[in-house]
Amino acid sequence: MSASAILELRDVGKVFGDTVALEPTTLSIEEGSFVAIVGPSGCGKSTLFNVIAGLLEPDGGEVRLHDRPVTGATGHVGYMLQKDLLVPWRTVEDNITMAKRLTGRVSSAHRAEARRVARQYGLGDFLRHYPSALSGGMRQRVAFMRTLVTHQPLLLLDEPFGALDAQTRLEMQQWLLQVWKDTERTVLFITHDVDESIFLSDRVLVMSPRPGRVVADFVNPLARPRTVDTLTEPDFVVLKARIMHLLHGGTP
């Protein structure tokens, strides 16, 4: 394991009955990086996250965090599911502190932190609101902040913007990059949107349809900060073409 790796998978695979959800997979994730995972529906992306988070026991192999084995153990990552899972009868503030509410007491310091991050990232006026009063993008921000205040250094985000319209999605992508820069976390980000995978990441892992496996690992050459102009840069277009080729059955 390299000194700067936060996460390492060694031959981690998962079979459900006759379905090979994830072929034995080996990869290493650099601390502080933003890594996108792109692949078609059903290719094992969420299975990969569930194994990393310890919610699923892999059939073989090992998951290592900071060079310690954590295979099958929970509580070492921040995990945000595609569905925001906000509690409808709790306010924004209470939703942000939800993880603490489930595992112990919510202290005044936790509440203060929830209010601080909400104000810092554009939800300060909505702390007393209920989720039903929020737009889709705002709900995703609340769900993301709930993940952020767990203070886990590694965040797993599973298609967090999949249900948003294109304009809101671009705003949320820029918002996420700002939070990532401020908070210095490592992010693994699942998407089936190729543009999104390139716009956000330092590196793009491409997965094949079933049986799921990582077929390519691209270093993203695009400079930061990313803006709307990034989407038309030559390097963007070239990388997009290479990824699309693989997703449509081409060879690496």
- Point out which residues bind ligand ADP (CB under 6 A): 16, 19, 21, 39, 41-47, 210
Nearer to Mg ion, 144 or 236 (CB): 144
x/- map, 45-64, Mg ion, by CB under 5 A: xx------------------
**Under the criterion CB under 5 A, does residue 220 sit at the interface with Mg ion?**
no
Instruction: Report in angstroms how near the CB of residue 213 gets to ligand ADP at its nearest.
Output: 11
For residue 175, what are its two tokens?
């918002």
Least distance from C-beta 159 to Mg ion, angstroms?
Answer: 6
| CB-CB contact of 154 with 77 (8 Å) | yes
User: What is the rounded CA–CA span in Å between residue 222 and residue 71?
Assistant: 34
For 53, other C-beta atoms within 10 Å of its C-beta total: 20
Identify which of residues 45 and 213 has a Cβ nearer to Mg ion in the complex: 45
- Taking the complex as a whole, the smallest distance from the CB of residue 54 to ligand ADP amounts, in Å, to 15
Question: Which partner in Mg ion, ligand ADP, none is near 42 (CB below 5 to 8 A by kind)?
Answer: ligand ADP
- The count of residues in the chain is 252
Name which of ligand ADP, Mg ion, none residue 187 binds, using a CB cut-off of 5 to 8 Å depending on partner kind. Answer: none
21 binds, among ligand ADP, Mg ion, none (CB under 5 to 8 A by kind): ligand ADP
Give the nearer residue to ligand ADP in terms of CB position, either 50 or 91. 50
DSSP state of 202: S
**110-145 per-residue burial string, b: 16 or more CB within 10 A, e: under 16:** bbebbbebbeebebeebbeebbeebeebbbbbbbbb
Contacts of 229 (CB under 8 A, 6+ apart): none
